[in-house]
Amino acid sequence: MAKLTKAEEKLHAEALALVDLERDLSEVEKWFVLEHFQEASTATNSTHGAFFTPDGLARDFAIEVPDSAARIIDFGAGIGRLSIGCRNQFGSRWNSDPDREFVCIERNSAYVRIGRKLLPEAVWIEGDVLDVLDMGLGHFDVAIGNPPFGGIKRSKDALGYKGRKFEYHVIALASQLADYGVFIIPQMSAPFRYSGRPYYEGDCGDREYRKFSDVTGIVLNANCGIDTSSYAGDWHGVSPAVEIVTVDFEECRSAAAHEEETETAVHPVPMKVIDVQLPEPDVVPSESGEQYMFQLGEAQVDDRGEPVPCHADVLLAIANEVS
């Protein structure tokens, strides 16, 4: 466990004692646990990239989740910070909207146990996010996540993407399950820079981003203008430069389908027009009245290469020879 101050250790112990209570926790107690539970108390937190989202950032993050989202999946949910941020404040939503349904996937059993205490209404799955497509979870309005970053060890690749960045694998998987996504990822993995900068810079995806985007068809977008650097000092033990990215998976899917359609469309054989004298009644005369215009495949030529009348349905093979 990373070195904690005496005060942090005490608060962490109090948080654990709350989790151990048999009864349900009050909202205030839940917030206490969220604030003071130290993810570094589990030995695997560094290897699994477990650094929980600060409270303020989770609240800002929630702004990006469309109001209409009713079913949400949280990839690498930790103890539920992001889902709780996107939940219904104090148990109810504005305008009598129905409560949101959450599915939280997390590999660390200690975190799942706490998550169940903090967000009991969610479905908690202790497992590997890379197995998510085999879990039979159905479809979601929105996928959210602050996944592990970078070259964290993984059990498999997501569909299409084979690169090293765990966050891209998660987003590629999410694209198979949800219509929309909101994620916290390293600033270097986003195609824009905004947080901690004097102004927004777009179009700065690096080679790895372009590779990810090319193979998956996924385009990551900016958010409404959240500067995550305001919370840089609120993480436990780290201070990563991150961005909140949004992605319209539905739009990416229809763009990919359109591209595929265009690629597989039958392209007409380039037209080659020749003149023939064809007194058939069912053909259209050219403006000269004497000559008839036909596309390649509708005309035949004689031994001297002169066009001759012929029925259209026997011409294709001959026309190929001519061309």
Point out which residues bind ligand SAM (CB under 6 A): 48-53, 76-78, 81-82, 105-108, 111, 128-130, 146-148
User: Is 208:163 a contact under the CB 8 Å cutoff?
Assistant: yes
Q: Which is nearer to ligand SAM, 29 or 167 (CB)?
A: 167
- Closer by beta carbon to ligand SAM, 130 or else 172: 130
CB of 132 to ligand SAM, least distance (A): 9
Apex 208 CA angle, 204 and 209, nearest 5:
50
**Nearer CB in complex with ligand SAM: 78/217:** 78
Give me the torsion for CA of 148, 61, 168, 222, rounded to 10°: -140
> 129 or 177, CB closer to ligand SAM?
129
Alpha-carbon span 146 to 52, nearest angstrom:
8
Whose Cβ is closer to ligand SAM: residue 115's or residue 191's? Answer: 115
How far apart are CB 175 and ligand SAM at their closest, in Å?
Answer: 17
With contact defined as beta carbons under 8 Å apart, do 115 and 108 qualify? Answer: no
49 vs 307 by CB, closer to ligand SAM:
49
**Bridge partners of 239?**
none
Nearest to 132 by CA among 73, 182, 78, 186: 73
CA-closest candidate to residue 299, choices 271, 269, 273: 273
- Closest separation between CB of residue 43 and ligand SAM, Å? 12
Measure the CA–CA gap between 28 and 22, rounded to whole angstroms: 16
Q: How far is the CB of 212 from ligand SAM (least distance, A)?
A: 18
For residue 149, give Cα distances in angstroms to 45, 80, 253, 289. 12, 18, 25, 74
- Separation of alpha carbons 213 and 172, rounded Å: 9
Q: Encoding tokens for residue 120? A: 């009991």
Q: Which residues contact 112 (CB under 8 A, 6 or more apart)?
A: 104, 106, 124, 126
* Smallest distance from ligand SAM to CB 185, Å: 10
- Minimum distance between the CB of residue 130 and ligand SAM, rounded to whole angstroms? 6
Q: Among 312, 271, 307, 303, which residue's Cα sits nearest to residue 290?
A: 307
Residue closer to ligand SAM by CB (options 80, 205) is 80
